[in-house]
A and B are shown apart, each in its own frame.
Chain A
Amino acid sequence: MIVKAVRAVLLALVALFFLFPIFWVLLMSVMTNQDILRSPPSLIFEPTLENYVALISGQLDTSVGTLEVAYMRNLMNSLILGVGSVLLSLLLGVPAAYAFARFRFRLGENIAFTLLSFRFAPPLLVLLPLLFYFQQLGLYDTYFGLIWVYQLITLPLILWIVRGYFEDISEDIEHAYRLDGHSWLATFLRIAIPLARPGIAAAALLAFIFAWNNFIFALILGSSDVQPVTVGALAFITASGINYGQIAAALVLSVVPTLILALFAQRYLVEGLSLGAVKG
């Protein structure tokens, strides 16, 4: 009985610690600045959507007049960068994952490890020279350049998770299909990929979230035109000054997409995270 009570109390504390910040920022985002600054803080207030309206319309009323912000542009950039990087990684990574899973070829493991080790190098080490190269090549501040660099995050993730999935699928069905006279490509597209679909979905989802949450790549390789919400939110805080309700609303808008994805696809996600880290 006592054990049960202690367990319940501990779990309540855990839930409080991990969920309270999200709850509180959500609450702040529907408060006016007066309500936020009220002391002592009160849970009784008139909820308002004006912070969101201001962000979405891009017109912020401040003490010094109306300020134009492009926070929606930042959200759009995050979406473009995330979707673009994941699609490119799938296109490149799924065939490679299949090759590593099905063929024991010379250099294969070496190539696979080279790709994996990119996940662990300090990002700035590569970003610093890349900034100069990108400026020369005209890739600085472009979606294309950033999507290319984002491959450092999304490609290894997709490669290794999908490889693990292919390895778990028996080769027998593919062999049977090929003996029926179908080409290698048809086997890959019609048998292997559909069977590995849960793994591919898990990997793509996780890769999207990692890309969405990235901060340092765009901080260095992009200006405000292509910058995602992670960088945009920091700039927004500097610009909007003391309008805390709007800051909270901006933060909420930046996390809502990944939180919703996580809730809808949590089974895939847990699988992806543990596959990527422990199982392989």
Chain B
Amino acid sequence: MVELAQDRALPRARSSARDWLLPYLLSLPSLLVTIGILIPFGTAVYYSMERYNLAFPAGRQFIWFGNYISLFGDPGFWNTLQVSLLYTLLCVGIQLLLGLGIALLLVRRTWFNDVMSVLLILPLMVAPAIASLMWKLMTNPSFGILSYLLTLVGVERFPWASSPDTALFTVVLVDTWVYTPFITILLLAGLRALPKQPFEAAELDGVPQSFVFFRITLPMLMPYILTAGLFRMLEAIQQFDIIYAMTQGGPGDTLMVFQIQAYLSAFTYTNIGRSAAVLMVLWAITFLLSNLVIKRWLKLRERRHGNA
């Protein structure tokens, strides 16, 4: 080991032009493959400033911010914004609370808890689109087990995804089923990584449990909670699979979130310009969110590597 430690102090062996180029050569292929994807991004920005409807190819024309201006005057767009934000807030809020609760239940390492945390990953491994279809089977009005169970407690004909009043609830339920395990896994890792001393000291002093939770556990866990929440927010505001598989945005425009709205604009109404403009608005939101995520995440990375 002493020899190895000395080796590190030696200057890099045979440093040459090839060695200097090496990191670029190694990362270039990755970059090239993904840069092919950057070009369409540029194209999409351009589309969003065009009057571009596949049904009227002759009318194609560059109109600057025309699509955006008509979006902001369109109640359908404000509905989309509202539904997307509501969906995101409901999903992230419910899943953080539930995920934290479950992580706290599972934090002690008993064999039972270990088995449970393995089984809990399973919903996360189900494709969101498939999960939606599974819940569709369970909420079917004629044979769905959940519909049946509700009649046992006196709720007849609960409409699930088919009524504007309960559709949002239904898709948030599916989202919660799929993604809560993600939050649980992260928070469980966070809880188990917390230092032991503050908890031991609190126990010695006979500090009440609720005080320990709100004054020690929660503040120390906050970086993990924020990271998990931001990650989920970023995904939830872009949700497509669950809603598309459940109702394709319906009934009416109840579940018309950003990507569903953009999908229908492009593929049902062939209005490429409008679709691209809707997506650009979504992109602006996710760009802000993802910068927050990356910043937080880098901080955690640094802290970990600083400690190591």
- Does B227 lie within 8 Å of A251, measured CB to CB? no
Interface residues of B in 100-148 (CB under 8 A from A): 101-102, 105-106, 116-123, 125-131, 133-135, 137-138, 140, 142-143, 145, 148
Which residue of A is nearest B142, CB measured? Answer: A37
- Does A179 lie within 8 Å of B283, measured CB to CB? no
Q: Identify which of A22, A100, A237 contacts B122 (C-beta below 8 A).
A: A22
Contact with A along B1-42 (1 / 0, CB 8 A): 001110110100100000100111011011101101101110
Q: Identify which of A93, A133, A155, A175 contacts B10 (C-beta below 8 A).
A: A175
Interface residues of A in 1-60 (CB under 8 A from B): 7, 10-11, 14-15, 17-19, 21-22, 24-25, 28, 36-37, 39-41
CA distance A219 to B186 in the complex (A): 31
- Does B41 lie within 8 Å of A274, measured CB to CB? no
CA distance A176 to B8 in the complex (A): 8
- Does B276 lie within 8 Å of A254, measured CB to CB? no
Q: Identify which of A19, A93, A179 contacts B13 (C-beta below 8 A).
A: A179
Residues of B within 8 A of A18 (CB): 119-120, 122-123, 177, 180-181
- Does B240 lie within 8 Å of A41, measured CB to CB? no
Interface centre among B34, B240, B266 (most CB of A within 10 A): B34
- Does B41 lie within 8 Å of A254, measured CB to CB? no
CB distance from A245 to the nearest CB of B (A): 10
**Stretch of B57-65, B70-78, B294-302 at the chain-chain interface:** B294-302
CB distance from A116 to the nearest CB of B (A): 7
- Does A96 lie within 8 Å of B121, measured CB to CB? no
- Does B24 lie within 8 Å of A21, measured CB to CB? no
Q: Identify which of A28, A175, A279 contacts B137 (C-beta below 8 A).
A: A28
Interface residues on A, range: 35 or more
CB distance from A24 to the nearest CB of B (A): 6
- Does B40 lie within 8 Å of A121, measured CB to CB? no
Tally B residues with Cβ within 8 Å of A: 98
Residues of A within 8 A of B181 (CB): 18
Q: Is B189 an interface residue (CB 8 A)?
A: yes
- Does B142 lie within 8 Å of A171, measured CB to CB? no
**Stretch of A61-69, A193-201, A263-271 at the chain-chain interface:** A263-271
- Does B29 lie within 8 Å of A251, measured CB to CB? no
Q: Identify which of A112, A116, A159, A251 contacts B134 (C-beta below 8 A).
A: A251
- Does A216 lie within 8 Å of B240, measured CB to CB? yes
CB distance from A93 to the nearest CB of B (A): 6
- Write the residues of chain A forming the contact surface with B, with a CB cutoff of 8 angstroms: 7, 10-11, 14-15, 17-19, 21-22, 24-25, 28, 36-37, 39-41, 88, 92-93, 95-96, 98-100, 102-103, 105, 107-108, 111-118, 120-130, 133, 148-149, 151-152, 155, 159, 164, 167-168, 171-173, 175-176, 178-179, 184, 209, 212-216, 219, 229-231, 233-234, 237, 244, 247-248, 251, 254-255, 258-259, 261-263, 266, 269-270, 273-274, 277-280
Nearest 9 A/B pairs, CB to CB: A213-B127, A99-B26, A280-B301, A129-B43, A120-B290, A129-B40, A103-B23, A99-B23, A96-B27
